[in-house]
Structure 1
Amino acid sequence: MSGMIERMPGWPSTFPDLFGWLEAGLPGAHTVPGLHGIRIEETLTDGTYVLRAELPGIDPAKDVELTVTEGVLTLRAERTAQTTEKHHTEFRYGTFARSVRLPAGARGDDATADYKDGVLTITVPVPEAKSGTRTIPVRHG
C-alpha cells in the first residue's frame, strides 16, 4: 500500500483527500495565496535522476516553466480551463509550483523534459562521483 491512503469505512465522501492535505501543508503555514502544490515522484537509478509530476490539463509549451538554480529544480505551471454548457460555465485555474534539491553532482544544464498523458517527466544526468585513492606528492623545498 505504498503511497496510497484509503478512505476509512464510514467517513463521509466530503472528507478531504488526506494525501492532498499533507502535500499542501497546514493551511496558512508557508503558503502563498493562489499557489498550489504539485504531486511528484522522484527516482535516482543508474546515474539518472527522474522527477515525474502530475500536471493534467495544461499545455506544456505555454504553461510550464522549469528552472535550475544552484542545484534546485523549480517547476511552475499555470492551468486555465473553461467548460461551457447550455446554462453553465465553469472555470478551473491556478498556479502550481514545486522546488526540489537535485542530488549532488546532478548536471542541471543537461536536463530534459517530456510531457505525456498529463505527466511531466524531467530527466537529469547524475554522473557517479569518482571514488578511489589519490596520491598527493609532497614537495620538498
Structure 2
Amino acid sequence: MADLNKWTPSEVLEPIRRFLDGDLTMSSIRVEQFMDGSVLVVRAEVPGLEPEKDVDVSVADGMLHIKVEREEKSEHKSKTGYRSEFRYGSFSRSVSLPPGAREEDVTASYKDGVLEVRAPAPEQAPATGTRKIQIDHG
C-alpha cells in the first residue's frame, strides 16, 4: 500500500466526496412512480450498469421487485504508488402493482441510466354516484 503522504489531495478526498454524495450510504434504489392513464410507471436511477447482467426485475403476488447488483473496480497507478478500490453493493426496491394489473403485461426498458418499468392495469369503472350511509346510534 502506498504511503498516504505521497497521495495527491484529490486521491485522499475521493472517498469522502463519494460518502457526501451518498454513494456509500444508499440503502435502496431511488425511484419515482406515477400513473400515466391506467399504467403505473416506475423509473429507477441505476446509472453505469449493464441491465442484462446487473439488474433483475420480477413480479410476484401483486408486487414489482427491482434488484441491482453493483460491482465497481478502480485502479490508480502513479510514480509514487498504487491504489486499488473495489465497491460492491446489492440494492432492491419493491412497489405495489395497481389493482387488476397482470404480471405478464409488465414491461421494462433501460436508457441513459434509467430503468423504466410499465405495469398496465384495467381501467376502473367510474363510480355510479354517491350513496349516503345512514348511521345508527343507540
Q: TM-score, normalised by structure 1?
A: 0.66
Which residue number corresponds to residue 137 of structure 1?
Answer: none
Tell me which residue corresponds to 1:10.
Answer: none
SS at structure 2 position matched to 1:62? helix
Q: Counterpart in 2 of 1:51?
A: 42
* Mapping 1:19-98, distance limit 5 Å: 36-86=27-77, 87-98=82-93
- On the 8 A contact 1:106/1:124 being kept in 2, the answer is yes
Q: Count residues with an aligned counterpart.
A: 107
Aligned-pair RMSD on alpha carbons?
2.6
Change (3 A) 1:40 1:14: closer
Q: For residues 16 and 64 of structure 1, what CA distance do their matches in structure 2 show? A: 25
1:110 maps to 2:105: yes
Letter in 2 for 1:68: V
Q: Percent identity?
A: 45
Where in structure 2 are there 5+ consecutive unaligned residues? 1-16, 129-138
TM-score for the superposition, normalised by structure 2: 0.67
Partner SS for 2:52: helix
State the 1:108 CA deviation. Answer: 2.4
Structure number with higher helix proportion: 2
**What's the CA shift for 1:104?**
1.1
Q: Partners of 1:61 and 1:17 in 2: how far apart? A: 27
Conserved? CA contact 1:114–1:121, under 8 Å: yes
Larger radius of gyration: 2
**What's the offset of the Cα at 1:129?**
2.2
2:93 partner letter: R
- The answer to whether the 8 A contact 1:65-1:76 is kept is yes
**SS where residue 90 of structure 2 aligns?**
strand
Matches of 2:20 and 2:48, distance apart in 1: 22
Deviations 1:45-103 (A, max 9, x none): 21111000011121100111111111111111100111112112111210000111111
